[in-house]
């Protein structure tokens, strides 16, 4: 009976620490190590919170109108890149306001859009017509880049430029360039590897189309580029990989232009509510700034110069690959200040 009681006690109460095996010194060492890890974690967390608080204070002090910020940038840079966000009407309206203000201020020769270059004749036909007739755009929906609310945003943008050209006259007329790779996005069913290869060819095709349409005939042209944000990165590369294939590198449009025209490119990244465009292979969906600084980020629509105050966040741009694809922005330890000049917040 006594043996049965002892067996029951052993099953209820935890086993005692066998000091003969662990040793008192070993036990204290383990406790000390745990304390060091906990204190280090607390210090790291506190430091991150301090960085975020400093960023919030910086944002409140430095925020300004996105239009004013980009007009000022256009006074000292010939090429201004403004990021679009798929499905965001607000991003298109803001672009229209920026175009209007730059054209009325420093001057603007061309607006470059993320539309396949084979659509150029239809854009030319629309902007040459008097009176305005948008039927050519509706008959060729690839000129509008997106479907749904995004396409309506592009219609508004084109209408604003058409009206602006009517006011400016023939000698100051703004040219609209469809700069993307011919046939992108492909209407044919392609493998993920083939789509990755085509995606990597887009930015070099954009430079070639810009050279053909505007930079060759008028090398000192003042240009606003309105495309989704990845093409606006001024340094680094993209890397795409599918299955067992070799990685494919992407050299961004703004980086290529910055290399060719040092100091003449100004790039603004945008966060705005939007939606995924089914035709986008590697979609730009904004940055991680709103999520990581939600508690301190001011509300409203504003622009901020990108400085080391953004260094609280590494790998700031969201990387959203297609199924079956790995996508990375390189170098992996980049900071936002190394790839863009302005951050524009258009709401959450």
The pLDDT of residue 20 is 43
pLDDT at 4: 44
Per-residue model confidence (pLDDT) at position 258:
97
d(CA 258, CA 263): 7
Nearest to 282 by CA among 219, 202, 199: 199
What local confidence, expressed as pLDDT, does residue 11 receive? 47
The token pair at 37 is: 């890890």
Q: How many CA atoms lie within 13 A of 294 on its CB side?
A: 4
Reported confidence tier of residue 320, pLDDT bands at 50, 70, 90: confident
What per-residue confidence (pLDDT) applies to 26?
52
State yes or no: pLDDT of 231 exceeds 50.
yes
| Cis before 300 (ω within 30) | no
Is the pTM of the predicted complex or chain greater than 0.75? yes
pLDDT tens-digit series, residues 27-50: 455 545 555 444 444 434 444 479
Contacts of residue 218, defined as CB under 8 A and 6 or more positions apart, other chains included, come to 109
Give the whole-angstrom CA distance, residue 84 versus residue 321: 18
pLDDT in tens, 11-24: 444 444 444 444 55
Q: How far apart are the first and last CA of the chain?
A: 71
Confidence band for 240, pLDDT divided at 50, 70 and 90: very high
Residues 6+ apart with CB under 8 A from 196: 240, 241, 242, 245, 248, 281, 325
Class in CATH terms, 63-346: alpha beta
Cα–Cα dist 123/29, whole Å: 73
Residue 41: per-residue pLDDT: 42
Q: What's the order of all strands across the beta sheet hosting 248-250?
A: 248-250, 237-242, 325-330
Place of tokens 């944000």: 229
Higher pLDDT, 7 or 167: 167
- pLDDT at position 110 is 98
What confidence tier does 212 reach under pLDDT thresholds 50, 70, 90? Answer: very high
What does the H/E/C string look like for the chain?
CHHHHHHHHHHHCCCCCCHHHHCHHHHHHHHHHHHHHHHHHHHHHHHHHHHHHHHHHHHHHHCECHHHHHHHHHHHCCEEEEEECCCCHHHHHHHHHHHHHHHHCCCCCEEEEEEEHHHHHHHHHHHHCCCCCCHHHHHCHHHHCCCCHHHHHHHHHHHHHHHHHHHHCHHHCCEEEEEECCCCCCCCCCCHHHHHHHHHHHHHHHHHHHHHHHHCCCCCCCEEEEEEHHHHCCCCEEEEEECCCCCEEECCHHHHHHHHCCCCEEEEEEECCCCCCCCCCCCCCCECHHHHCCCCCCCCEEEEECCHHHHHCCCCECCCCCCCEEEEEECCCCCHHHCCCEEEEECC
Bridge partners for 287 per DSSP = 317
Across all residues in the chain, what is the average pLDDT?
88
Between CA 146 and CA 143 the distance in angstroms is 9
| Structural tokens at position 253 | 């449009």
How far is the C-alpha of 61 from the C-alpha of 70, rounded, in Å? 18
Q: Tell me the pLDDT tens digit for each residue of 321-330.
A: 778 899 999 9
């Amino acid at each position: 009976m006594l043996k049965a009681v002892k067996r029951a006690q052993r099953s209820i109460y935890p086993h005692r620490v066998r000091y003969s095996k662990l040793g008192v010194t070993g036990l204290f060492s383990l406790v000390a190590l745990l304390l060091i890890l906990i204190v280090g974690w607390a210090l790291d967390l506190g430091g991150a919170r301090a960085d975020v608080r400093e960023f919030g204070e910086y944002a409140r002090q430095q925020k300004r109108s996105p239009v004013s910020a980009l007009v000022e940038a256009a006074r000292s840079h010939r090429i201004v890149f403004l990021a679009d966000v798929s499905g965001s009407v607000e991003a298109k309206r803001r672009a229209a306001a920026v175009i209007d203000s730059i054209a009325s201020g420093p001057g603007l020769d061309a607006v470059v859009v993320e539309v396949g270059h084979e659509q150029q004749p239809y854009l030319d036909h629309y902007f040459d017509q008097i009176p305005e007739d948008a039927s050519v755009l509706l008959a060729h929906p690839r000129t509008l880049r997106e479907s749904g609310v995004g396409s309506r945003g592009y219609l508004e943008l084109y209408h604003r430029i058409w009206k602006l050209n009517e006011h400016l006259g023939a000698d100051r007329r703004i040219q609209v360039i469809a700069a993307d790779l011919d046939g992108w996005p492909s209407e044919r069913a392609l493998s993920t590897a083939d789509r990755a290869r085509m995606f990597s060819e887009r930015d070099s095709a954009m430079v070639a189309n810009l050279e053909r349409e505007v930079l060759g005939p008028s090398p000192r042209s003042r240009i606003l580029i309105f495309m989704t944000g990845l093409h606006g990165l001024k340094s680094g590369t993209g890397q795409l990989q599918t299955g067992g294939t070799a990685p494919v590198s992407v050299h961004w449009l703004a980086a290529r232009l910055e290399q060719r025209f040092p100091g003449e490119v100004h790039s603004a990244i945008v966060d705005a509510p939007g939606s995924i465009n089914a035709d986008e292979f590697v979609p730009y969906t904004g940055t991680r700034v709103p999520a990581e600084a939600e508690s301190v980020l001011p509300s409203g629509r504003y622009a901020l110069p990108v400085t080391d105050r953004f260094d609280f966040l590494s790998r700031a741009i969201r990387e959203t690959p297609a199924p079956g694809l790995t996508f990375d922005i390189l170098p992996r330890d980049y900071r936002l200040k190394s790839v863009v000049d302005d951050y524009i917040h258009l709401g959450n």
